[in-house]
């Protein structure tokens, strides 16, 4: 009798211990992002600075035959540039150290077409050094844009000689200025340009050898892809995955770059480059975009699993125009205001269609940590999460996030709200979610509800959700659009 009782107690203890143990998370779904790509995803905004001889010639594309003496930004203050970047909420800044004209903003040992031949700082200046120092002082990450197309260099067109030249300049930049977080390789060149082959794979290997923490941007990555346009819009869907083998740098399919591919084998998130002004370089007769335009760009880029790289060109004095500065401050203030109050932060209850285990319950979506997420029962590719907000709340924007460190999964979703007369009705729907998806309702529309639910309609494997938020965007009201 005592033997049977002891055996029963042992079984109970084993069972209780098994219940107390955490269930492991579902398997990650490949491809998955590297550490440096997760750093890219986590940024709120990046800022581009197009600056060079074009700034002084009122041009967008130089000839490569300009006199270096025209480059003389007498009041250049890189700290003011970084102040502008921080005021906008940027966390990474990228400088065009050499644009297509070939003029170098650092005293390169491999060309006489640089700041060393200009009158600025008596030929002793180094824009890149000042840029990097100012960024480091404010805790901003640094990136370099080094144009492959070079209209000045005489060896351009000779595949061997030019690849040697380009690599030599890369080494100068990547060994002389400390840690670099992004290297931007522009695939653009004129259809009439001399035809030659760039050894991109060797360039990529060299960059990662010298700066292992740097992401490389090009049409085809290997770390970050172009979004396929310059007007600030990611696709719907927008997958972080794509097939690098399907992309030819300089001759890529814009629609493919905008959308990516659910079956893509490479984690290649898109970066959305757009200028605050009509041109990439500063022009006296141009003005910055309105706040309304910038918010529209935000909702079509950073709010679609993309990262906005906003260009703000310094003027010929070497400063950010005051009008641009004020626009950046208003833009950042608007974003802060929109997302300052999450109406779903403290719901009365959160329930789900199913739960993998207590470690992956629906309440995990209430914080913004990627490490905590809701997961349904294993093998379920659909499901729902319902929130009882405790009272009727008005919202016109909603945010959803996936823990992309586990792979991007959701292919289709919709959000519903409960009405006592209508029952459940559609609020918003979409395809991909990814790192961050924000849906804004149509202008002047809002939803007032106590019960809200997110429904996953299709997914690559078990869907995982790490955050859900509801917000009120006052800038989406027509009578306030001029604020």
222 preceded by a cis bond (ω within 30 of 0)? yes
Q: Would you state the pLDDT for residue 321?
A: 98
The CATH architecture assigned to 35-338 reads Alpha-Beta Barrel (3.20)
Enumerate the CATH 2.60.120.260 domain ranges in the chain, comma separated: 349-480
3 state SS for the chain: CHHHHHHHHHHHHHHHHHHHCCCCCCCCCCCCCCHHHHHHHHCCCEEEECCCCHHHHCCCCCCCCCCHHHCCCCCCCHHHHHHHHHHCCCCEEEEEEECCCCCECCCCCCCCCEHHHCCHHHHCCCHHHHHHHHHHHCCCEEEEEECCCCCCCCCCCCHHHHHHHHHHHHHHHHHHCCCCCEEECCCCCCCCCCCCCCCHHHHHHHHHHHCCCCEEEECCCCCEEECCCCCCCCCCCCCCEECHHHCCCCCCCHHHHHHCCCCCCEECCEEEEEECCCCCCCCCCCCCCCHHHHHHHHHHCCCECCEEEEECCCCCCCCCCHHHHHHHHHHHHHHHHHCCCCCCCCCCEEEECCCCCHHHCHHHHHCCCCCCCECCCCCCCCEEEEEEEEEEEEECEEEEECCHHHCCCEEEEEEEEEECCCEEEEEEEECCCCCCEEEECCCCCCEEEEEEEEEEEEECCCCCECEEEEECCHHHCHHHCCC
34 backbone dihedrals φ, ψ, rounded to 5° = -75, 175
Q: Would you state the pLDDT for residue 190?
A: 81
Enumerate the CATH 3.20.20.80 domain ranges in the chain, comma separated: 35-338
Tally the C-alpha atoms within 13 A of residue 336's C-alpha that lie toward its C-beta: 10
> Tokens 């789900």, residue?
352
Tokens found for residue 214: 């740097």
431 contacts: CB under 8 Å, gap ≥ 6: 236, 237, 411, 412, 413
- For residues 250 and 243, the answer to whether their CB atoms sit within 8 Å is no
What is the C-alpha separation between 206 and 49, in angstroms, rounded? 24
Domain spanning 349-480: CATH superfamily: Galactose-binding domain-like (2.60.120.260)
Q: Would you state the pLDDT for residue 19?
A: 45
Phi-psi region of 432 (alpha: psi -120 to 50; beta: other; left: phi over 0): beta
Q: The pTM is what?
A: 0.94
What is the C-alpha separation between 25 and 23, in angstroms, rounded? 6
Render each residue's pLDDT in the chain as its tens digit; 483 residues. 455 555 555 555 444 444 446 789 999 999 999 999 999 999 999 999 999 999 999 999 999 999 999 999 999 999 999 999 999 999 999 999 999 999 999 999 999 999 999 999 999 999 999 999 999 999 999 999 999 999 999 999 999 999 999 999 999 999 999 999 999 999 888 888 888 999 999 999 999 999 999 999 999 999 999 999 999 999 999 999 999 999 999 899 999 999 999 999 999 999 999 999 999 999 999 999 999 999 999 999 999 999 999 999 999 999 999 999 999 999 999 999 999 999 999 999 999 999 999 999 999 999 999 999 999 999 999 999 999 999 999 999 999 999 999 999 999 999 999 999 999 999 999 999 999 999 999 998 999 999 999 999 999 999 999 999 999 999 998 754 433
Rounded to an integer, what is the distance from CA 386 to the centroid of its chain?
A: 29
Q: Would you state the pLDDT for residue 483?
A: 35
Sign (positive/negative) of CA torsion 191, 195, 200, 201? positive
Q: Would you state the pLDDT for residue 387?
A: 99
Q: Would you state the pLDDT for residue 8?
A: 53
31 preceded by a cis bond (ω within 30 of 0)? yes
440 contacts: CB under 8 Å, gap ≥ 6: 299, 303, 396, 397, 473, 476
What is the C-alpha separation between 304 and 434, in angstroms, rounded? 8
Q: Would you state the pLDDT for residue 481?
A: 45
- For residues 135 and 46, the answer to whether their CB atoms sit within 8 Å is no
What is the C-alpha separation between 313 and 288, in angstroms, rounded? 10
Nearest CA-CA partner of 130 in 309, 284, 275, 314: 314
What is the C-alpha separation between 46 and 454, in angstroms, rounded? 30
């Amino acid at each position: 009798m005592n033997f049977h009782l002891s055996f029963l107690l042992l079984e109970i203890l084993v069972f209780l211990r098994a219940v107390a143990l955490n269930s492991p998370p579902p398997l990650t779904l490949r491809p998955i992002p590297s550490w440096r790509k997760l750093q890219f995803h986590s940024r709120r905004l990046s800022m581009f600075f197009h600056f060079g001889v074009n700034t002084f010639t009122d041009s967008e594309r130089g000839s490569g035959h300009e006199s270096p003496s025209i480059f003389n930004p007498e009041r250049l203050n890189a700290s003011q540039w970084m102040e502008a970047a921080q005021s906008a909420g940027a966390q990474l800044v990228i400088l065009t150290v050499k644009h297509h004209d070939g003029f170098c903003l650092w005293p390169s040992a491999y060309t006489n077409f640089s700041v060393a031949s200009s009158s600025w700082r008596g030929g002793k200046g180094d824009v890149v050094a000042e840029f990097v120092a100012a960024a480091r002082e404010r805790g901003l990450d640094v990136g370099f844009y080094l144009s492959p197309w070079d209209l000045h260099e005489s060896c351009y067109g000779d595949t061997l000689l030019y690849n040697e030249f380009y690599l030599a300049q890369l080494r100068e930049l990547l060994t002389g200025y400390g840690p670099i977080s992004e290297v931007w390789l522009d695939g653009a060149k004129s259809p009439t340009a001399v035809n030659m082959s760039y050894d991109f794979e060797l360039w990529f290997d060299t960059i990662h050898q010298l700066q292992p923490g740097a992401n490389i941007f090009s049409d085809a990555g290997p770390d970050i892809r172009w979004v396929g346009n310059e007007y600030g819009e990611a696709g719907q869907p927008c997958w972080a995955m794509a097939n690098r083998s399907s992309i030819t740098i300089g001759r890529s399919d814009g629609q493919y770059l905008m959308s990516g591919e659910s079956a893509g084998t490479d984690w290649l998130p898109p970066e959305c480059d757009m200028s605050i002004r009509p041109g990439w370089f500063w022009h006296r007769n141009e003005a910055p975009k309105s706040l309304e335009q910038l918010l529209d760009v935000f909702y079509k880029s950073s709010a679609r699993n993309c990262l906005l790289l906003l260009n703000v060109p310094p003027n010929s004095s070497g400063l950010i125009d005051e009008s641009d500065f004020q626009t950046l401050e208003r833009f950042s203030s608007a974003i802060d205001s929109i997302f300052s109050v999450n109406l779903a932060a403290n719901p009365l209850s959160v329930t789900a269609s199913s739960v993998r285990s207590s470690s992956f319950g629906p309440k995990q979506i209430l914080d913004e940590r990627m490490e905590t997420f809701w997961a349904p029962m294993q093998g379920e590719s659909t499901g729902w999460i319902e929130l009882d907000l405790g009272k009727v709340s008005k919202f016109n924007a909603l945010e959803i996030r996936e823990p992309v460190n586990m792979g991007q999964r959701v292919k289709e979703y919709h959000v519903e709200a409960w009405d006592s007369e209508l029952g459940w009705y559609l609020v918003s729907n979409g395809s991909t979610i990814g790192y961050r998806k924000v849906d804004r309702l149509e202008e002047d529309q809002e939803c007032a509800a106590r019960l809200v639910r997110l429904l996953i309609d299709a997914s690559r494997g078990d869907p995982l959700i790490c955050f859900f938020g509801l917000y009120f965007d006052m800038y989406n009201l027509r009578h306030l659009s001029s604020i």
